[in-house]
């Protein structure tokens, strides 16, 4: 079952985020898990509460096993016929033991369908290695317009 995430899902969302970033990517954590989960619950709880982020969860047998997030990014007012918002999709993740059931597709569909104002021009995301084919099935492709800059360390 796919449904919007709520405040009661924050512990499961925090655990999934940890798994996505640490276990799923091989990254080494820079803080203790408990501290991260507390920080996550505070920050994401506020963002879900004020609507700056929306999230959906996949449930199997009453357990949250996957999630996806989306944020609306307002564009500057536009004098031409062009929608005035973008959508940023992030953190599409399903626990490995629940993959292959269509949950990732269902989560992505929920995030892409969420456009209550009807003003989304483009949806952007950063695809993890091996996920481009999934996104391509939903019309995503490479863009010559989007550029990225990361701080040098």
The pLDDT of residue 148 is 86
Domain 2-136 is in which class? alpha beta
pLDDT of residue 31: 92
Give residue 146's pLDDT. Answer: 86
Q: CA-CA distances (angstroms) from residue 66 to 13, 99, 131?
A: 8, 9, 15
Provide the pairing of β-strand 120-124 with 85-94: parallel
Residues of the chain with pLDDT under 70: 24-26
For 110, phi then psi, to 5°, come to -60, -45
The per-residue pLDDT for 9 is 97
Q: What is the pLDDT of residue 26?
A: 62
pTM of this prediction exceeds 0.85: yes
């Amino acid at each position: 079952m796919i449904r919007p995430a709520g405040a009661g899902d924050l512990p499961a969302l925090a655990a999934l985020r940890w798994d996505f970033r640490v276990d799923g990517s091989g990254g080494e954590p820079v803080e203790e898990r408990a501290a991260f989960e507390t920080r996550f619950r505070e920050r994401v709880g506020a963002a879900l509460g004020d609507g700056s982020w929306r999230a959906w969860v996949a449930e199997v047998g009453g357990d949250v096993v996957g999630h996806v997030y989306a944020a609306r990014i307002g564009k500057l007012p536009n004098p031409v016929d062009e929608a005035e918002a973008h959508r940023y999709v992030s953190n599409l993740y399903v626990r490995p033991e629940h993959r292959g059931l269509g949950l990732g597709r269902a989560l992505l569909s929920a995030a892409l369908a969420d456009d209550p104002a009807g003003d989304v021009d483009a949806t952007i995301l950063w695809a993890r290695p091996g996920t481009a084919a999934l996104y391509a099935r939903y019309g995503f492709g490479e863009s010559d317009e989007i550029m990225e800059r990361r701080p040098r360390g």
